[in-house]
Amino acid sequence: MADDGVLYRVYERRLARELASVPLPQHLGVIVDGNRRWAKASGASTEEGHRQGAAKIAEFLTWCEELSIPLVTVWMLSHDNLRRPAEELEALFGIITDTLEELTDAGYEVRLTGNDDVLPAEVRERIRRRQETAQVTRELAVNLAIGYGGREEIVVAVQELVREMGQRGLDAEQIADGITIEAIGEHLYTRGQPDPDLIIRTSGEQRLSGFLLWQSVHSEFWFCETYWPGFRRVDFLRALRDFCKRERRFGA
Protein backbone atom coordinates (compact mmCIF):
# COMPACT_ATOMS: atom_id res chain seq x y z
CA MET A 1 0.00 0.00 0.00
CA ALA A 2 1.37 3.44 -0.93
CA ASP A 3 2.16 5.67 2.01
CA ASP A 4 0.33 8.92 2.65
CA GLY A 5 3.20 11.03 1.27
CA VAL A 6 3.11 9.27 -2.08
CA LEU A 7 -0.66 9.56 -2.32
CA TYR A 8 -0.44 13.23 -1.42
CA ARG A 9 2.08 13.92 -4.21
CA VAL A 10 0.01 11.98 -6.74
CA TYR A 11 -3.10 13.95 -5.79
CA GLU A 12 -1.20 17.25 -5.94
CA ARG A 13 0.15 16.47 -9.42
CA ARG A 14 -3.34 15.52 -10.61
CA LEU A 15 -4.75 18.81 -9.39
CA ALA A 16 -1.96 20.73 -11.11
CA ARG A 17 -2.71 18.95 -14.40
CA GLU A 18 -6.39 19.82 -14.10
CA LEU A 19 -5.50 23.50 -13.78
CA ALA A 20 -3.02 23.57 -16.66
CA SER A 21 -5.59 24.46 -19.33
CA VAL A 22 -8.25 26.49 -17.52
CA PRO A 23 -8.54 30.24 -16.83
CA LEU A 24 -7.20 31.08 -13.37
CA PRO A 25 -7.73 34.16 -11.16
CA GLN A 26 -5.94 37.29 -12.32
CA HIS A 27 -6.22 38.84 -8.86
CA LEU A 28 -6.19 36.65 -5.78
CA GLY A 29 -6.99 37.95 -2.28
CA VAL A 30 -5.82 36.08 0.82
CA ILE A 31 -6.93 36.55 4.43
CA VAL A 32 -4.02 34.94 6.27
CA ASP A 33 -5.88 33.95 9.43
CA GLY A 34 -4.98 31.62 12.27
CA ASN A 35 -1.36 32.46 13.12
CA ARG A 36 -2.05 32.81 16.84
CA ARG A 37 -4.17 29.66 17.00
CA TRP A 38 -1.49 27.74 15.12
CA ALA A 39 1.07 28.95 17.67
CA LYS A 40 -1.10 27.90 20.60
CA ALA A 41 -1.72 24.45 19.09
CA SER A 42 2.01 24.05 18.38
CA GLY A 43 3.19 25.24 21.78
CA ALA A 44 4.92 28.22 20.18
CA SER A 45 4.84 31.91 21.07
CA THR A 46 2.44 34.32 19.39
CA GLU A 47 5.38 36.05 17.72
CA GLU A 48 6.59 32.74 16.31
CA GLY A 49 3.12 32.11 14.95
CA HIS A 50 3.21 35.43 13.12
CA ARG A 51 6.72 34.72 11.81
CA GLN A 52 5.69 31.33 10.49
CA GLY A 53 2.68 32.97 8.86
CA ALA A 54 4.92 35.55 7.21
CA ALA A 55 7.22 32.80 5.94
CA LYS A 56 4.20 31.07 4.41
CA ILE A 57 3.44 34.23 2.39
CA ALA A 58 6.74 33.96 0.51
CA GLU A 59 6.11 30.28 -0.17
CA PHE A 60 2.54 30.97 -1.28
CA LEU A 61 3.71 33.55 -3.80
CA THR A 62 5.95 30.96 -5.48
CA TRP A 63 2.87 28.77 -5.97
CA CYS A 64 1.08 31.71 -7.59
CA GLU A 65 4.05 32.37 -9.86
CA GLU A 66 4.10 28.75 -11.02
CA LEU A 67 0.55 29.27 -12.29
CA SER A 68 1.17 32.76 -13.73
CA ILE A 69 -1.25 34.51 -11.39
CA PRO A 70 -0.20 38.16 -11.81
CA LEU A 71 -1.61 39.90 -8.70
CA VAL A 72 -2.06 38.87 -5.07
CA THR A 73 -3.39 40.92 -2.15
CA VAL A 74 -2.39 39.61 1.28
CA TRP A 75 -4.12 40.93 4.41
CA MET A 76 -1.36 41.07 7.03
CA LEU A 77 -2.79 43.58 9.51
CA SER A 78 -6.37 44.79 9.78
CA HIS A 79 -7.62 48.05 11.21
CA ASP A 80 -9.26 46.02 14.00
CA ASN A 81 -5.96 44.27 14.79
CA LEU A 82 -4.62 47.59 16.06
CA ARG A 83 -6.49 46.91 19.31
CA ARG A 84 -4.16 44.03 20.13
CA PRO A 85 -1.59 44.28 22.96
CA ALA A 86 1.28 46.70 22.33
CA GLU A 87 3.89 43.95 22.62
CA GLU A 88 2.21 41.88 19.92
CA LEU A 89 1.84 44.89 17.64
CA GLU A 90 5.49 45.83 18.03
CA ALA A 91 6.49 42.34 16.96
CA LEU A 92 4.01 42.47 14.06
CA PHE A 93 5.40 45.77 12.79
CA GLY A 94 8.86 44.24 12.67
CA ILE A 95 7.59 41.12 10.92
CA ILE A 96 5.72 43.22 8.36
CA THR A 97 8.86 45.21 7.59
CA ASP A 98 10.99 42.07 7.35
CA THR A 99 8.44 40.52 5.01
CA LEU A 100 8.32 43.55 2.73
CA GLU A 101 12.11 43.61 2.54
CA GLU A 102 12.24 39.88 1.80
CA LEU A 103 9.72 40.22 -1.01
CA THR A 104 11.37 43.25 -2.58
CA ASP A 105 14.76 41.54 -2.33
CA ALA A 106 13.21 38.63 -4.23
CA GLY A 107 12.20 41.03 -7.03
CA TYR A 108 8.47 41.35 -6.41
CA GLU A 109 6.66 44.62 -6.94
CA VAL A 110 5.25 45.30 -3.47
CA ARG A 111 2.60 47.91 -2.81
CA LEU A 112 1.20 48.84 0.59
CA THR A 113 -2.58 48.73 0.63
CA GLY A 114 -4.19 50.42 3.61
CA ASN A 115 -3.35 53.12 6.10
CA ASP A 116 0.40 53.06 6.71
CA ASP A 117 -0.03 55.92 9.19
CA VAL A 118 -0.71 53.23 11.78
CA LEU A 119 2.92 52.14 11.52
CA PRO A 120 5.60 53.75 13.69
CA ALA A 121 7.47 56.53 11.92
CA GLU A 122 10.75 54.60 11.82
CA VAL A 123 8.99 51.61 10.25
CA ARG A 124 7.35 53.80 7.59
CA GLU A 125 10.72 55.35 6.77
CA ARG A 126 12.41 51.97 6.52
CA ILE A 127 9.68 50.76 4.17
CA ARG A 128 9.82 53.95 2.10
CA ARG A 129 13.58 53.62 1.61
CA ARG A 130 13.26 50.01 0.59
CA GLN A 131 10.50 50.71 -1.94
CA GLU A 132 12.53 53.54 -3.48
CA THR A 133 15.51 51.26 -4.12
CA ALA A 134 13.62 48.07 -5.01
CA GLN A 135 14.33 46.44 -8.36
CA VAL A 136 11.34 44.61 -9.84
CA THR A 137 12.40 41.47 -11.69
CA ARG A 138 9.32 39.26 -11.39
CA GLU A 139 5.92 39.28 -13.06
CA LEU A 140 3.89 38.85 -9.89
CA ALA A 141 2.79 42.01 -8.05
CA VAL A 142 1.90 41.92 -4.37
CA ASN A 143 -0.37 44.17 -2.32
CA LEU A 144 0.36 43.97 1.41
CA ALA A 145 -2.78 45.14 3.21
CA ILE A 146 -1.53 46.89 6.36
CA GLY A 147 -3.80 48.76 8.77
CA TYR A 148 -6.53 47.91 6.29
CA GLY A 149 -10.28 48.18 6.83
CA GLY A 150 -12.83 48.00 4.04
CA ARG A 151 -15.14 50.65 5.45
CA GLU A 152 -12.21 52.96 6.15
CA GLU A 153 -10.99 52.54 2.59
CA ILE A 154 -14.35 53.59 1.15
CA VAL A 155 -14.60 56.59 3.48
CA VAL A 156 -11.09 57.74 2.53
CA ALA A 157 -11.85 57.30 -1.18
CA VAL A 158 -15.04 59.38 -0.98
CA GLN A 159 -13.30 62.06 1.10
CA GLU A 160 -10.48 62.35 -1.45
CA LEU A 161 -12.99 62.53 -4.29
CA VAL A 162 -15.08 65.24 -2.61
CA ARG A 163 -12.00 67.31 -1.78
CA GLU A 164 -10.80 67.13 -5.37
CA MET A 165 -14.15 68.28 -6.73
CA GLY A 166 -14.38 71.00 -4.08
CA GLN A 167 -10.96 72.31 -5.10
CA ARG A 168 -12.28 72.56 -8.65
CA GLY A 169 -15.00 74.91 -7.41
CA LEU A 170 -17.93 72.57 -7.93
CA ASP A 171 -21.10 73.18 -5.93
CA ALA A 172 -22.84 70.60 -3.72
CA GLU A 173 -25.13 69.34 -6.48
CA GLN A 174 -22.26 68.89 -8.92
CA ILE A 175 -20.22 67.10 -6.27
CA ALA A 176 -23.12 64.77 -5.53
CA ASP A 177 -23.47 63.98 -9.25
CA GLY A 178 -19.72 63.33 -9.42
CA ILE A 179 -19.79 60.63 -6.77
CA THR A 180 -20.13 57.59 -9.03
CA ILE A 181 -19.03 53.97 -8.82
CA GLU A 182 -16.28 54.67 -11.32
CA ALA A 183 -15.07 57.80 -9.53
CA ILE A 184 -14.90 56.07 -6.16
CA GLY A 185 -13.03 53.16 -7.75
CA GLU A 186 -10.38 55.56 -8.97
CA HIS A 187 -9.67 56.59 -5.36
CA LEU A 188 -9.47 53.17 -3.70
CA TYR A 189 -6.17 51.75 -2.46
CA THR A 190 -6.30 49.28 -5.38
CA ARG A 191 -6.94 51.94 -8.03
CA GLY A 192 -5.83 50.82 -11.47
CA GLN A 193 -5.97 47.14 -10.51
CA PRO A 194 -8.61 44.53 -11.37
CA ASP A 195 -10.99 43.42 -8.63
CA PRO A 196 -10.17 40.07 -7.00
CA ASP A 197 -11.58 37.01 -8.74
CA LEU A 198 -11.06 34.75 -5.74
CA ILE A 199 -10.60 35.41 -2.02
CA ILE A 200 -9.20 32.67 0.22
CA ARG A 201 -9.55 32.69 4.00
CA THR A 202 -7.88 30.16 6.27
CA SER A 203 -8.57 29.04 9.88
CA GLY A 204 -12.23 28.08 9.54
CA GLU A 205 -13.73 31.55 9.76
CA GLN A 206 -16.31 32.11 7.03
CA ARG A 207 -16.55 35.87 6.72
CA LEU A 208 -14.66 38.67 4.95
CA SER A 209 -14.36 40.97 8.00
CA GLY A 210 -14.35 43.92 5.60
CA PHE A 211 -11.51 42.69 3.37
CA LEU A 212 -11.67 44.41 -0.03
CA LEU A 213 -15.25 45.28 0.81
CA TRP A 214 -15.89 47.36 -2.32
CA GLN A 215 -13.78 45.27 -4.69
CA SER A 216 -15.22 41.87 -3.71
CA VAL A 217 -18.73 42.47 -5.06
CA HIS A 218 -18.26 39.76 -7.71
CA SER A 219 -15.50 37.75 -6.05
CA GLU A 220 -15.70 34.04 -5.36
CA PHE A 221 -14.84 32.92 -1.81
CA TRP A 222 -13.06 29.82 -0.57
CA PHE A 223 -12.74 28.97 3.12
CA CYS A 224 -10.70 26.21 4.74
CA GLU A 225 -10.16 24.97 8.28
CA THR A 226 -6.35 25.00 8.11
CA TYR A 227 -4.49 27.70 10.03
CA TRP A 228 -2.45 29.89 7.70
CA PRO A 229 1.04 28.62 8.72
CA GLY A 230 -0.14 25.09 7.90
CA PHE A 231 -1.68 26.00 4.53
CA ARG A 232 -0.32 23.63 1.85
CA ARG A 233 0.12 23.80 -1.88
CA VAL A 234 -2.52 21.09 -2.25
CA ASP A 235 -4.98 23.31 -0.35
CA PHE A 236 -4.20 26.12 -2.77
CA LEU A 237 -4.72 23.88 -5.79
CA ARG A 238 -8.04 22.66 -4.36
CA ALA A 239 -9.18 26.27 -3.96
CA LEU A 240 -8.31 27.00 -7.58
CA ARG A 241 -10.01 23.84 -8.81
CA ASP A 242 -13.20 24.77 -6.97
CA PHE A 243 -13.00 28.30 -8.38
CA CYS A 244 -12.67 26.99 -11.93
CA LYS A 245 -15.74 24.80 -11.53
CA ARG A 246 -17.98 27.70 -10.61
CA GLU A 247 -20.10 29.52 -13.16
CA ARG A 248 -19.55 33.25 -12.75
CA ARG A 249 -22.54 35.14 -14.16
CA PHE A 250 -21.90 38.51 -12.48
CA GLY A 251 -25.62 38.95 -11.86
CA ALA A 252 -26.61 38.36 -15.49
Q: For 37-80, what is each residue's pLDDT tens digit?
A: 999 999 999 999 999 999 999 999 999 999 999 999 999 999 99
Binding-site residues sit at 33-38, 50, 78-80, 84, 201, 207-209, 220
* Percent of the chain whose predicted confidence (pLDDT) is above 70: 98
| pLDDT higher than threshold 80 for residue 15 | yes
Binding-site residues for Mg(2+) sit at 33, 220
Average pLDDT, integer, range 92-110 = 95
Closest CA to 9 of 173, 233, 175, 213: 233
| pLDDT higher than threshold 60 for residue 2 | no
Binding-site residues for substrate sit at 34-38, 50, 78-80, 84, 201, 207-209
Helices (H) and strands (E) in the chain, counts: 9, 6
| Catalytic site residue from 33, 115, 143, 197 | 33
pLDDT level of residue 252 (50, 70, 90 thresholds): low
Closest CA to 96 of 61, 124, 129: 124
Domain 24-149+194-241 fold: Undecaprenyl pyrophosphate synthetase (3.40.1180)
| pLDDT tens-digit readout, 186-204 | 999 999 999 999 999 999 9
Residue spans per domain, the chain = 24-149+194-241
| pLDDT tens-digit readout, 120-169 | 899 899 988 988 899 999 999 999 999 999 999 999 999 999 999 999 99
| 117 is a catalytic site residue | no
Average pLDDT, the chain: 94
Give the residue, 105 or 12, on which the prediction is more confident.
105
- Give the Cα separation of 68 and 168 in Å (integer): 42
Sheet order of strands, 141-148 included: 109-114, 141-148, 71-78, 27-31, 198-201, 220-223
Please report, for residues 48, 52, 157, 219, the alpha-carbon distance to residue 215 in angstroms, rounded to integers and kept in the order given: 32, 28, 13, 8
| 143 is a catalytic site residue | no
For residue 26, the model assigns a pLDDT of: 97
Least confident of 25-39, 111-125, 196-210: 111-125
pLDDT level of residue 1 (50, 70, 90 thresholds): very low
| Catalytic site residue from 3, 4, 81, 235 | 81
pLDDT level of residue 250 (50, 70, 90 thresholds): confident
For residue 9, the model assigns a pLDDT of: 82
Question: Is the four-CA dihedral 77, 82, 85, 89 of positive or negative sign?
Answer: positive
